[in-house]
């Protein structure tokens, strides 16, 4: 079954890959970017608006959905797709990252993690088999292993402990997955997650252990957590080279447009990140020339759209001047319009890369990507937004 799940269509001379993932909710063309819908919604967008951005697959957070609204509500609705009225594919992360980063009190042992809800303080416990049960109840097409994401920086000793626990938990996740059935009548695919922080020896060890369990796909976890871009690209390329050719590769939590381009160049197929949607709500928008902050005074009377020639609903209707005004007034349309544009930009970036890879022109695409951005960096005053 897993051979049919992923089809590798072309590997560019540069090493970038184009492929497709076949799920019962649709085919996903890769490289793909997955917008984050933490609580079962990509913040401020309807399912139709999401579809219009050409979003192919949405990411839901198992940790958040387990706590609110809870599994009973999602199960009664018939799974997350029906609950949120999204008929396309969904991927859920395992909650591993959130369990280690959000709660105040987290107790890790070899069997699992005991944590307190970061909002109401109630105590919960995640074990590998519990997390698989949670992800079966949510019902995403692609589900992730429960892993331990070591923070950056971590000592080699701690990163090694987390790597060993991740490998042990991966075996238990796989065992539970194989012993249970999907709850809503369509197949789910399980991805393993490789850890090892920024240590190449641990990346090798982790990849070997996770690969041995034969997952439907492989994720590179534990990056984009504070290391430098060069370090991230280096570990990404190193780790990707250790993964099997015939399975999808997912770089978790990445990222900025340039990070995505660099990781695609290193053989990654799938991405997720809150950057385009979270930043949109604060006024930062992405264009082929670079990013702009619409709160900036230079846009006060700028009658041009966010990006000239962009076919998104926001650029077809609104000027930078109008959107800046909406941001200043706190109008909810501001963040929504910016979100629509940013996702449109990200989806364009992905399809542009895919076309280039299929034509063996990825290097040209990458050069043009940086050339068009350079001109903007000098011409516009941009205001940094915390990411």
Catalytic residue positions? 93, 272
Closest CA to 285 of 312, 252, 259: 312
Closest CA to 59 of 309, 247, 327, 251: 251
Task: Write down the least CB distance from residue 307 to Zn ion, Å.
Answer: 5
Which residue, 43 or 200, is less far from Zn ion as judged by CB?
43
Strands (E), 105-259: 106-108, 113-116, 123-126, 142-144, 189-194, 217-220, 249-251
Task: Write down the least CB distance from residue 358 to Zn ion, Å.
Answer: 25
Q: Rounded to an integer, what distance in angstroms lies between the CA atom of residue 93 and that of residue 83?
A: 18
Tokens 């940094």 sit at which residue? 384
Task: Write down the least CB distance from residue 301 to Zn ion, Å.
Answer: 20
How many C-beta neighbours within 10 Å does residue 215 have?
Answer: 24
Interface contacts to Zn ion, rule CB under 5 A = 310, 312, 315, 341
Which residue, 8 or 310, is less far from Zn ion as judged by CB?
310
Backbone angles phi, psi at 352, to 5 degrees: -65, -45
Which residue, 165 or 341, is less far from Zn ion as judged by CB?
341
Task: Write down the least CB distance from residue 320 to Zn ion, Å.
Answer: 11
Q: Rounded to an integer, what distance in angstroms lies between the CA atom of residue 33 and that of residue 269?
A: 9
Question: Is omega for the bond preceding 291 within 30 degrees of 0, making it cis?
Answer: no
232 in Cβ contact with 225 (< 8 Å):
no
Which residue, 304 or 355, is less far from Zn ion as judged by CB?
304
The number of CA neighbours under 13 Å toward the Cβ of 265 is 17
First to last CA, the chain: 39
Which residue, 188 or 293, is less far from Zn ion as judged by CB?
293
Task: Write down the least CB distance from residue 6 to Zn ion, Å.
Answer: 31
Which residue, 92 or 314, is less far from Zn ion as judged by CB?
314
Task: Write down the least CB distance from residue 61 to Zn ion, Å.
Answer: 27
Q: Rounded to an integer, what distance in angstroms lies between the CA atom of residue 225 and that of residue 232?
A: 9
Task: Write down the least CB distance from residue 322 to Zn ion, Å.
Answer: 13
Q: Rounded to an integer, what distance in angstroms lies between the CA atom of residue 238 and that of residue 226?
A: 18
Angle at 345 between CA 340 and CA 348, to 5 degrees: 125
Identify the three-state secondary structure at position 61.
strand
Q: Rounded to an integer, what distance in angstroms lies between the CA atom of residue 90 and that of residue 71?
A: 16
Q: Rounded to an integer, what distance in angstroms lies between the CA atom of residue 212 and that of residue 232?
A: 25
Which residue, 41 or 310, is less far from Zn ion as judged by CB?
310
């Amino acid at each position: 079954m897993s051979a049919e799940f992923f089809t590798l269509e072309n590997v560019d001379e540069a090493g970038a890959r184009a492929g497709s993932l076949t799920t019962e909710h649709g085919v996903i063309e890769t490289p793909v970017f997955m917008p984050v819908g933490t609580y079962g919604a990509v913040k401020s967008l309807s399912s139709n608006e999401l579809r219009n951005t050409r979003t192919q697959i949405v990411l839901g957070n198992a940790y958040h959905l387990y706590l609110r609204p809870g599994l009973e509500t999602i199960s009664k609705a018939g799974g997350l797709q029906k609950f949120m009225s999204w008929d396309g594919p969904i991927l859920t992360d395992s909650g591993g990252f959130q369990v280690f980063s959000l709660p105040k009190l987290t107790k890790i042992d070899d069997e699992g993690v005991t944590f307190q809800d970061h909002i109401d303080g109630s105590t919960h416990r995640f074990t590998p088999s519990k997390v698989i049960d949670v992800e079966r109840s949510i019902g995403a097409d692609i589900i992730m292993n429960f892993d331990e994401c070591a923070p950056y920086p971590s000592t080699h000793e701690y990163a090694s402990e987390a790597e060993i626990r991740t490998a042990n938990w991966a075996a238990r996740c796989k065992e539970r997955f194989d012993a249970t059935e999907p709850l809503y009548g369509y197949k789910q695919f399980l991805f393993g997650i490789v850890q090892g922080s920024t240590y190449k020896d641990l990346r090798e060890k982790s990849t070997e252990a996770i690969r041995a369990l034969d997952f439907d796909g492989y994720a590179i976890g534990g990056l984009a957590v504070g290391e430098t871009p060069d370090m991230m690209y280096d570990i990404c390329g190193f780790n990707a080279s250790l993964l099997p050719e015939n399975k999808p590769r997912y770089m978790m939590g990445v990222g900025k447009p340039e990070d995505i381009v660099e990781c695609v160049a290193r053989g990654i197929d799938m991405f997720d990140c809150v950057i385009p949607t979270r930043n949109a709500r604060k006024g930062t928008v992405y264009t082929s020339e670079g990013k702009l902050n619409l709160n900036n005074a230079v846009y006060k009377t700028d009658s041009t759209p966010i990006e000239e020639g962009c076919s998104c609903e926001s650029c077809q209707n609104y000027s930078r001047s109008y959107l800046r005004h909406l941001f200043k007034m706190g109008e909810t349309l501001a963040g929504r319009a910016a979100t629509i544009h940013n996702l449109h930009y990200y989806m364009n970036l992905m399809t542009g890369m895919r076309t280039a890879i299929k034509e063996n022109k990825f290097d040209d695409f990458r050069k043009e990507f940086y050339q068009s951005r350079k001109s903007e960096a000098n011409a516009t005053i941009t205001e940094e937004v915390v990411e």
